[in-house]
Amino acid sequence: KIMAEKVKQGSWCLAAIYGSDYESKLGGRLISFSQEQAEGNQKSQMIRLAAFLLVGFNFATAVALFPLISLIAFFTNWCMMGSMFCVMMSAYFATIPNIDQHKTKLAALHILLEFTFLFNLVTVLVYWTIIHSTVIDTFSGMVWVHMYIVHIFPAIA
C-alpha cells in the first residue's frame, strides 16, 4: 500500500531514498536533461561520447587481449562495463524529450551511477595500493598498457 502511494506520487525510488517530499528536497534541477535539451546539448553529448570512448577502448583491449571469461572474472571489468552502461544510458536519456518527468528512470540511473562510483573507488584504491606492483611485473607490451588504462579510464569516465 505504501509503495502504491509512492508510485502515484512519481518516483518510488526517489521517494524511498529521500522521502515523499523528494521534489522539494531535490529542487527538480539536480538532473535536468530537459534544460540541457533546451540549450542544445551538443557539448554535454560530446563529453559523454569522450567518456564512452575512454571506457570503450578498455573494453576493446580487454576483449582483444584476454579470454571473454575475464570480463566476468575480474572486478575491474565489472566496473568498466558498469561505467560504459552508465555513460550509454546518460547519453540515451539526454535524447528523450521531457525525461525529467520520468523520475523512476532517472532515480534508477542515479543509483546505478552511485554503485559504479563506489565500485570504481574500490578498484582504484585496492588495485593501485595493493595489487599493481605484483601484477605489473608479470606483463609487458599492450597488456601492460591495458593494465594501466583499465584501472584509470573507468574512474575518469
**pLDDT tens for each residue of 20-74:** 776 676 665 444 555 565 666 677 778 888 888 888 888 888 888 778 888 788 7
Q: Between 149 and 2, where is the model more confident?
A: 149
pLDDT of residue 132: 67
Residue 64 lies in a domain: yes
In 3D space, the residue among 49, 109, 112 whose CA is nearest the CA of residue 79 turns out to be 112
Residue 16 lies in a domain: no
In 3D space, the residue among 112, 52, 44 whose CA is nearest the CA of residue 84 turns out to be 52
* Domain containing residue 116: 31-156
Of the listed ranges 2-16, 75-89, 99-113, 131-145, the one predicted with least confidence: 2-16
Residue 19 lies in a domain: no
Q: Is 28 left (phi over 0), alpha (psi -120 to 50) or beta?
A: left
Question: What percent of the chain is modeled with pLDDT above 70?
Answer: 59
Residue 124 lies in a domain: yes
Check if the beta carbon of residue 137 is closer than 8 Å to that of residue 77. no
Q: Based on the structure, what is the number of domains in the chain? A: 1
Residue 48 lies in a domain: yes
Residue 77 lies in a domain: yes
pLDDT of residue 5: 46
State pTM to two decimals. 0.63
Residue 14 lies in a domain: no
